[in-house]
Chains A and B, each alone.
Chain A
Amino acid sequence: MITAGIDVGTQSVKAVIVKDNVVISRGRAFSGFDPAKAGELAVAEALEKAKLSLADLKHVTATGSGMDMAPYANSTISMMGADAKAVVYIFPKARTIIDVGAEEARAVKCDEKGIMIDFVVNERCAAGAGAFIEAMARALEVKLEEMGPLSLKAERASSINATCVIFGESDVVSLIHRQESKPEIARAIFDAMADRVSSMVYRLGLNPDVALVGGVAKDIGFVSSLKRKLGIDILIPDYPDFIGALGAALVAASRVKEA
């Protein structure tokens, strides 16, 4: 049986096609101004890679903040529900999932069946999410993908207070004025983010194993700061940014079976 999941995120739309519970292809497009169109592009890319057509998809489930705009969707699932499903599929022992996307960070508690039992979302603020790293990379005049490797070169830790992107930026500027080195500032930025994300996780309760997903899971700078803060090892799947779409595709498959 072939099903698909579409994750309409704030920055990009991801599509995953699953055949008999195995991923066979992925597609991605920038959300931009027309998330529905981006959804079509992402699905088209995944279909092409799998050499399939739309008619082969038995059921399509959408997730993500723009899920109501997703094309072809037969049903929807919350982002937290999709995360729980996909992560427990990949890491059967995972019970806490941290999802850091472009504009939101979430933590989900789940059971052994991949059903979410509790969740928290960062409080309407982008300082704990990917957009923060982007803004700070601009302030430091380095490329986004250089931020992580740069931070690992830091010899000591400075600190900033990430209460919001705007104030975070002015904190970074004062570190620049104090002539701190770029690696140290980069590390301070990841530490501040990890602070916010970890206090959110502690409010939920930290139950091992812990998995980190979402686009920001690809940033080694953030990963190393978060590991330091939580003091435990963190599981990171391949393609962490496709977890939402994968969860949706798996949910689609179970919905076909139920029907």
Chain B
Amino acid sequence: MKNKNETKKYVPEIPQKEIEELRNSIKTTSQKIIAENIERMKKTSKNRAKTMQYFDENANFFGQREKEIQAAKASGKKVIGYMCMFAPIELILAADAIPVRVNSGWYDASKLGDRIVPVEVCPIIRSTIGAKMIGLSPYLELSDALISVLTCDGMTKLSEILSDYKPVWTMPIPRVKDSAHATRFWREELLATKAQIEALTGNKITGKRLRSAIELTQRATKAFRRLQDIRKGAPVIMGRDAMLVNQTYMWDDIKRWTEKTEALCDELEKMAQQKMWACPPDTPRVMITGTPMIWPDNWKAPTLIEEATPQGVLVADELCSSERLLYDPVGVDEWTMDDMLNAISERYLMASTCPCFTSEDGNEDRINWLLTKVKDWKINGVIYYVVRGCMLYAMEYTRVKRVLDRLNIPVYYLDTEYTREDVGQMKTRVEAFLEMLSARVDI
């Protein structure tokens, strides 16, 4: 238990005035970047679905959704934040609370995190710490408690640091998932988290409520899959637009998100019938995989790929900030409490391709999934994206490259930091890679 009288474990005292100045300046920059990103995304698409407008607006962290959540809180609802996508959203929803993902994509905030942890640490971690130090992220600020799944070293220590501010419920996760005791262990963790959620919200998670929460995310999954399936064909949506749609799921109202995504899919299917492509159909088809890419600042890799000369189009990704979020439904056989909890436990543990897992055969699930995506989405080349300090993704690269080499699929390791200064160097590399892919597409 956290001792309330204990002085803060990590966080230094910062004068209120400095906090406000920093928050205002980073927030202003961030609003400009959000607007600029959306503008550039609009410009890149030769034809762009009109129903994207909803997602463009929802991309504003400091807009309508923030006000909605504030109002919901005022009426007594609780907000539960999470960092990794292993957090069981269905349990949060079943307790009538609002789930929001709170990892930070702000570059400038990572410099503040440097006051607490060394620069060698993954910038997503440093930036999330920095964002909390100055109260930058609306969704992190609005969270009443945080679920921290201990996937990597960064996340493990991040939860300690954030506990200086808010209640943090840790969920250790087994690194080898294919065993009966791993399943049992994870299910126990789920039950413990369920009890925490019930205690915070004062709402009991009944079978009826849990069933309707699962049905809600199942519908979201269906819409989500439909969108990714559309991207198997000639491009009617640019990758950045699809990534934005996927990512807004992390903070939007899930019912409304599902409806808007279905409307988008309807429009995209019509565009495909009319051959209204977002870019020329012979544009090299690229998949990106690796470290999660968090809106709004950390958007440079997909931007470089889709604005490069020669151009590439992202038709798929294997990122926990995008396509890994929702691809797998919670599969329930019988709507009993026991069965529903088993289904949730399975969906989060077994379906994940996070590199925090290993087995006798390595992280086979990720390798197999990457190969399936290459085949089904007809990928011409893969960008393997890693931010410095992200050990698990960096180390797994060698294996992924070896597997893709055998299929003669080019893959390029693009490493970067939470900074805007290396865009020139990254551009050189990305363009050389796309030049190579274009030469192959021509052949």
Q: List the interface of chain A (C-beta within 8 A of B).
A: 65, 76-81, 115-121, 123-124, 203
Contacts and interface: CB of A to CB of B under 8 A. Distances in A.
B348 interface: no
11 contacts: A65-B425, A77-B435, A78-B428, A78-B432, A80-B436, A81-B435, A115-B439, A119-B412, A124-B415, A124-B422, A124-B425
Interface in B373-429: 398, 410, 412-413, 415, 422, 424-425, 428-429
B253 interface: no
B431 A78 contact: yes
Contacts of B433: 119
The 3 closest A-B pairs by CB, nearest first: A78-B432, A80-B432, A78-B435
B432 A119 contact: yes
Nearest to A80: B432
A86 B410 CA distance: 22
Contact of A116 (B425, B431, B436): B436
Given A118-B410, A124-B415, A65 B432 contact: no
Interface of B: 309, 398, 410, 412-413, 415, 422, 424-425, 428-429, 431-433, 435-436, 439
Contacts of B424: 65
A19 B436 CA distance: 26
B410 A121 contact: no
Given A65-B424, A115-B439, A120 B413 contact: yes
Nearest to A78: B432
A65 B413 contact: no
Contacts of A117: 410, 436
Contacts of A80: 432, 436
Contacts of B413: 120
B385 to A, nearest CB: 14
A120 B401 CA distance: 12
Contacts, number: 36
B435 A121 contact: no
A112 B403 CA distance: 24
A79 B428 contact: yes
A127 to B, nearest CB: 15
Contacts of B398: 203
Contacts of B410: 117-118
Contacts of A121: 429
A79 B431 CA distance: 10
A65 B428 contact: yes
B287 to A, nearest CB: 17
Contacts of B436: 80-81, 115-119
A123 B426 CA distance: 11
Nearest to B412: A119
B134 to A, nearest CB: 28
Contact of B432 (A81, A123, A124): A81
A65 B432 CA distance: 11
Nearest to A76: B309
A118 B411 CA distance: 8
Nearest to A121: B429
A116 B439 CA distance: 9
Most buried by B among A119, A120, A123: A119
Contacts of A116: 432, 435-436
Contacts of B428: 65, 78-79
Contacts of B422: 124
A19 to B, nearest CB: 26
A244 to B, nearest CB: 12
Contacts of B435: 77-78, 81, 116
Contacts of A124: 415, 422, 425
Contacts of B415: 123-124
Nearest to A115: B439
Contacts of A76: 309
Most buried by B among A77, A78, A115: A78
A36 B309 CA distance: 20
Given A117-B410, A119-B433, 4 more contacts: A65-B428, A76-B309, A78-B428, A121-B429
Given A65-B424, A123-B415, A79 B439 contact: no
Contacts of A65: 424-425, 428
Contacts of B432: 78-81, 116, 119
A119 B436 CA distance: 10
A60 B140 CA distance: 53
A124 B410 CA distance: 21
Nearest to B443: A115
Most buried by B among A77, A80, A123: A80
